[in-house]
Amino acid sequence: MTQDAAHFAPFAQRMADEGLPNIFIAHFAHYYDKLRQGDDGLIAEGDIRPVRSLDNAERLSPRLTTIGSEAISRTVIIKLNGGLGTSMGLTGPKSLLVVKDGLTFLDIIARQANEIGAPLLLMNSFATDAQSLAVLRQYPSLHVNLPLSFCQHKQPKIDAATLAPAEWPDDRELEWCPPGHGDLYTALVTSGMLDRLLRAGIEYAFVSNADNLGAVLDPSILGYIIDKGLPFLMEVADRTAADRKGGHLARRPDGRLLLREIAQCPADDLPAFQDIERHRYFNTNNLWLHLPTLRNTLVAHGHELDLPMIRNRKTVDPRDPDSPPVYQLETAMGSAIAVFDGAEAIRVPRARFAPVKKTDDLLAVRSDAYLLTRDYRVVLAPERRGQPPAVELDAEYYRLVDDLDCRFPAGAPSLCACERLAVEGPFVFGPGVVARGEVAFRNRTGKCIPVPARLTVEDGVWPGEEPSP
């Protein structure tokens, strides 16, 4: 046994005992070797070039819409649905959170797929699979000749001091972590799903996050990828100040596109990374794949696409900062843009990127700033002119969904005419509250203050004078 094999043997045994497939074990071994060899996964600013311009999805011709519409039956909608929403206090799948008009993410996704007429496929984690499929049983029209889900893999955390498998007897589940959504490609193979899709005549896949309600299959973009014969297409949007930490698009010196995440940026290059004028486009994580090319590429590379490694340093118990440091090795599915010859990106409107990551986002989407259309698209109200309201909630009182629901028992205030809403301190909002312009609710007393029903605040702070402690 070689020295490298000896180091990896405990990982291989642990993964085999969990029933993980050999292809994935070899995949993890590939990145573990990179870690041992000192690969930090960093992409230096001097090794990339900014992307200056791209085709605009809002200016595509009606001809492409026709092409795409004719190919919808040959296209699968894949939603990444592995998250539990623990950062918002959830214990089950994040996609089962009620988000708009009494419907959950998954309800909206299922109804969108029915309206579009494309098959739906979830990439679940083992923690989300059973509950998510139980919800989809309410939509029998989705049950065609294809399964509704496949599962991503899991992998051991790595002790940062010893590079051995992390040990945490208090909770053995915390010794494992997901491999990042770059696992999509390997999981499609090991689950048999890729071959099954191809046998069913499915040629294209539209992939997006389940919590991004703006990501709806667009026939014009589908027509674009078909017309140009693209193997891979990434949707990107213009970066704003709010996107300084998000992954951005760039070019290698040979002209090939790549994705750089902030975890891949050397510390000295952070100013350039965060320069939204230099690096203009961020990855929405909405991707389009030509499945026959994906299969051929995977076979040609021994099922290893060699995506750039993301080395995340964390603690084995994420809730305990004093627990042992670990490495979690991840890959991003968007980084496959550097793998496929002829891969491209297309500029899309900000409306196609509306993720719900925090209760701030959830309150905004639940408000009248967003509308649910008859075909189950979640869109900004016309009055918003394409700009969502900025919502900042005090994390001490509003971070958890249960807290949000308790403090907004009648639902979200009206934010249709609100540019910025900041809430500091504990409040309970009555029904019919309206915020217009830039509004702050500020309570530094520590005691909960009720917000009167049908109160309207325009460009100001409420209460105007803070009550005495």
Domain ranges in the chain are 3-352, 359-462
Residues 345-367: tens digit of each pLDDT:
999 998 898 889 999 999 999 99
Closest CA to 134 of 155, 112, 104, 162: 104
Mean pLDDT of the chain: 93
Binned at pLDDT 50, 70 and 90, residue 469 comes out as very low
Helix (H, G, I), strand (E, B) or coil at 410: coil
pLDDT in the model for residue 212: 94
**CA distance linking residue 331 with residue 313, whole number of Å:** 14
Extract the runs of DSSP E, i.e. beta strands, from 264-324. 281-290, 310-315
Count of CB atoms situated within 10 Å of the CB of 407:
20
For 385, the token pair is 């002119």
CA quadruple 315, 317, 323, 326: dihedral, nearest 10:
-30
Residue with tokens 């703006």: 214
Q: CA 123 to CA 182: how far, in whole Å?
A: 12
Phi, psi angle pair for 191, to nearest 5°? -80, -10
pTM over 0.75: yes
Residue 16: enclosing H or E segment and its boundaries? Answer: helix 3-17
pLDDT tens digits for range 110-158: 999 999 999 999 999 988 999 999 999 999 888 678 899 999 999 999 9
SS3 content of the chain, % helix, strand, coil (to 5): 35, 25, 40
Please name the residues in contact with 358: beta carbons below 8 A apart, sequence gap of 6 or more.
87, 88, 393, 399
- Structure tokens that stand for 130 in this block: 């059973």
Helix axes 62-70, 219-228, angle to 10 degrees: 90
Which entry of 34, 245, 314, 357 is annotated as an active-site residue? 357
Share of residues in the chain with pLDDT > 90 (%): 84
Contact 207, 75 (CB under 8 A): no
Give the Cα separation of 359 and 284 in Å (integer): 20
Which CATH architecture fits 359-462? 3 Solenoid (2.160)
- Active site annotation includes 357: yes
pLDDT digits (tens, 9 = 90+) for 181-234: 999 999 999 999 999 999 999 999 999 999 998 999 999 999 999 999 999 999
Per-position b or e across 207-216, b if 16+ CB within 10 A of its CB: bbbbbbbbbb
Q: Is 302 left (phi over 0), alpha (psi -120 to 50) or beta?
A: left
Topology match between the domains 3-352 and 359-462: no
What value does the mean pLDDT take over residues 241-249? 87
CA pair distance 255, 222, nearest whole angstrom: 24
Any idea which fold 3-352 has? Spore Coat Polysaccharide Biosynthesis Protein SpsA; Chain A (3.90.550)
Q: How far apart are CA 166 and CA 282, in angstroms?
A: 34
- Phi/psi for 292 (5° steps) reads -60, -40
